[in-house]
Amino acid sequence: MTDFRKVIEENPIVKNIADCREIFWINPDCRERGKWNQGEEKLVDIDEAEARLLRFAPFIERVFPEVKGGIIESPLTEIPWKVISEKGSGRLFLKQDSHLPISGSIKARGGIYEVLKLAETLAVSAGLLKYDPETGEHESYASLADPDMREFFSGYKVAVGSTGNLGLSIGIISAAIGFHVTVHMSSDARQWKKDMLRSKGVTVVEYPDDYEAAVAQGRREAEADTTCHFVDDENSLDLFAGYSVAGKRLKAQLEEKGITIDKDHRLYVYLPCGVGGAPGGVTYGIREYFGDNAYCFFAEPTHAPCMTLGLATGLFERISVGDIGIDGKTEADGLAVGRPSALVAAAMQSRLNGCFTVEDERLYPYLAALKDATGIFIEPSACAAFQGIKYIEDEALKYSDIPEPDDNSVNILWATGGNMVPQAEKQAYYRRGKQAETLLT
Ligand SMILES: *Cc1c(COP(=O)(O)O)cnc(C)c1O
């Protein structure tokens, strides 16, 4: 048994986390390329994942005609510094995963990838889809949307536990393929997400408890049923692989803009973190493609700082925010997670540069400022990233080995969700941001 009181007493940063103070933590175990935990061995094969997404492009385009070319990708948009309120160093971009097609959040990367892979595996092994992994030869995956294939897929089930957005992503793609899908929703999930899923024929089971309980229940039910595939947000390498493709795509996107990242043109990326899968997979991909010229930081709410806590104590998934007396309650519903993914914590220990925490009150003013300056709406969870760049401009890196951003730097705020939010909710969030702004000034 770990004595959590002792963990708090012995580590000043943990004491601050336990007191729900805003902190910026530099990861002392972050290493350069070649010295990452798995050494040269790769955790996931990004090229293979990307190739699979390409195979599915004709299917995606057939089922979701609005997705041009069948490629699920988001814009990288330069935004004015005034969103952060003061001029920072270098250029500032918003990676709009908030506007990813199909499910309007970063979960469209990992979630859709895992369900597509499942569909491919089932169809190939039943002899209903020709794909030769040796040569890469295959028939068009567009045929997977034929009625007889839907009939075939309807013999299988998919289940997932979620705070909301993963449920949306898994629910929508599974229903589009023809799987029977059940989403186990935690109490933090917003009502409109449950309503939207039900309208698409998804079974939604609600829990009075937190995310961890919803996932555990989903896992239990799926285990008892051999036709059911459980999407394990806490441990899935397929989810992780889907997210990691973002690193490769980002590199191409920057090159399109004439931007090359090297040691004189460094990349700084700020990513909101819940259980860790999405920002962890993206960070994995970024580090693979940009190596030691990229610096990645996770953003968490002061009331649900699970990855910060897991990494700062070195206890990973063996410590939860509840263990140090934090309630896990936050307006950032997508980040309302009390215990980090074991898989992701281990992968991030040697790859992530740091973590920071943000009070909920900061989210809405950023939401409103972004909307005012650019017309872009993102959800409160996605705004957690913004404060990180403020901390860094305010010398958070002063006593670290990490070079501070300069005029040549590229800064990316990873906007993780927002496009699916109903209009009335968008307006309410925005108004709240404007009110808070007035209170602040
Ligand atoms: C899920 C989610 C995250 C974090 O992803 P995790 O895999 O839970 O760490 C961040 N922002 C939004 C909007 C999300 O839905």
313-358 confidence digits (pLDDT tens): 999 999 999 999 999 999 999 999 999 999 999 999 999 999 999 9
Does the domain at 4-104+244-440 match CATH 3.40.50.1100? Answer given as yes
The whole-angstrom separation of Cα 168 and Cα 110 is 12
| Residue whose tokens read 């709410």 | 301
Q: In what order do the strands lie in the sheet with 294-301?
A: 24-26, 354-358, 294-301, 267-272, 410-415, 91-96, 76-78
Distance 124 CA to ligand 1 centre (A): 31
CA-to-CA distance for 332 and 329, rounded, in angstroms? 9
| 165 CB near ligand 1 (under 6 Å) | yes
pLDDT at 439 (0 to 100) = 65
Residue 437: pLDDT band by 50, 70, 90 thresholds? confident
Q: What is the H or E stretch that residue 270 is in?
A: strand 267-272
Q: What percent of the chain has pLDDT over 90?
A: 87
Label residue 213 exposed, middle or buried (CB < 10 Å: 0-12, 13-18, 19+).
middle
Distance CA 236, CA 219 (A): 12
Is 281 a pocket residue for ligand 1 (Cβ < 6 Å)?
Answer: no
Please give the distance of CA 364 from its chain centroid, rounded to a whole number.
20
- Give the residue-averaged pLDDT of 19-27: 97
Judge contact between 267 and 409, C-beta under 8 A: yes
| CB-ligand 1 contact for 119 (6 Å cutoff) | no
Highest mean pLDDT among 183-192, 210-219, 221-230: 221-230
Ligand 1: which of 107, 298, 337 to mutate, judged by most atoms within 8 Å of the beta carbon?
Answer: 107
CA distances from 288 to 8, 94, 195, 250, 351 (A): 34, 21, 39, 12, 10
Check whether domain 107-237 has CATH 3.40.50.1100, yes or no: yes
Residue 381, ligand 1, Cβ within 6 A = yes
Q: Are 344 and 307 in contact (CB under 8 A)?
A: yes
Q: Of the candidates 101, 99, 110, which has an alpha carbon nearest to the alpha carbon of residue 417?
A: 99
Evaluate if residue 441 carries a pLDDT over 70.
Answer: no
Mutate to test the pocket of ligand 1, among 106, 112, 343, 386 (most ligand atoms within 8 A of CB): 106
Note the pLDDT of residue 40. 61
Whether 107-237 and 4-104+244-440 are alike in CATH topology: the answer is yes
Residue 359 Cα, ligand 1 centroid: separation in angstroms?
17
pLDDT surpasses 60 at 110: yes
Residue 207 pLDDT grade (very low, low, confident, very high; cuts 50, 70, 90): confident
The rounded Å distance from CA 333 to ligand 1 centre is: 9
The answer on pLDDT for 104 being more than 90 is yes
Q: Is the CB of 416 under 6 A from ligand 1?
A: yes
Please tell me if the CB atom of residue 382 comes closer than 6 angstroms to any atom of ligand 1: yes
Per the DSSP assignment, residues forming a β-bridge with 268 are 295, 411
Q: Which atom of ligand 1 is nearest to the CA of 277?
A: 7
Q: Where are the domains of the chain?
A: 4-104+244-440, 107-237
Q: Is the pLDDT of residue 398 over 90?
A: no
Alpha helix segments (H runs only) across 200-341 = 211-223, 237-256, 277-290, 306-313
C-alpha 434 – ligand 1 centre gap (Å) = 25
- pLDDT at 113 exceeding the cut of 90: yes
124: left (phi over 0), alpha (psi -120 to 50) or beta: alpha
Q: Is 379 in the pocket of ligand 1 (CB under 6 A)?
A: yes
How many Cα atoms occupy the beta-carbon half-sphere of 101 within 13 Å?
Answer: 14
Whether pTM exceeds 0.95: yes
Cβ pair 346, 31 in contact under 8 A:
no
Number of the ligand 1 atom closest to the C-alpha atom of 337: 8
39 has pLDDT over 70: no
User: What pLDDT, on a 0 to 100 scale, did the predictor assign at position 37?
Assistant: 78
Is the beta carbon of 334 within 6 A of some atom in ligand 1? yes
Within 94-210, residue ranges assigned H as helices are 107-125, 147-153, 165-177, 191-199
Closest C-alpha to ligand 1, atom 11: 416
For residue 104, count CB atoms less than 10 angstroms from its CB and return exposed for 0-12, middle for 13-18, buried for 19 or more.
buried
Q: Alpha-carbon distance 375 to 378, whole Å?
A: 10
- 425: pLDDT strictly greater than 70: yes
The rounded Å distance from CA 368 to ligand 1 centre is 20
Nearest ligand 1 atom to the CA of 272 is 10
Q: Which amino acid is located at 110 in the chain?
A: G
Percent share of the chain, pLDDT over 70: 99
Predicted local confidence at residue 210, as pLDDT: 81
Among 255, 259, 253, 252, smallest CA distance to 91 is for: 259
Which range among 185-189, 208-212, 437-441 shows the weakest confidence by mean pLDDT?
437-441
So what's the pLDDT on residue 84? 92
Q: Which two tokens stand for residue 363?
A: 């989210």
Residue 280: Cβ-neighbour burial (10 angstroms; 0-12, 13-18, 19+): buried
Going by C-alpha positions, the residue among 208, 215, 223, 116 that lies closest to residue 167 is: 215
Mean pLDDT of 216-223: 88
Ligand 1 center to residue 337 CA distance, Å? 9
Average of per-residue pLDDT across 255-281: 98
Distance (Å) from CA 274 to ligand 1 centroid: 5
Q: Which of residues 41 and 123 earns the better pLDDT score?
A: 123
Query: Looking at residue 211, what is its pLDDT?
Result: 83
User: Quick check: 215 pLDDT over 90?
Assistant: no
Q: Whose CA is nearest to atom 8 of ligand 1?
A: 274
| Alpha carbon of 138 to ligand 1 centroid (Å) | 34
pLDDT at 187 over 90: no
Confidence of residue 373 (pLDDT cuts 50, 70, 90): very high
In ligand 1, the atom with minimum distance to the C-alpha of 279 is: 9
What residue owns the CA closest to ligand 1's atom 14? 334
Distance 201 CA to ligand 1 centre (A): 24
CB 311 within 8 A of CB 249: no
Q: Which among 398, 365, 392 has a CA at the least distance from the CA of 82?
A: 365
Banded pLDDT at 85 (limits 50, 70, 90) = confident
d(CA 383, CA 410): 18
Please give the mean pLDDT across all residues of the chain: 95
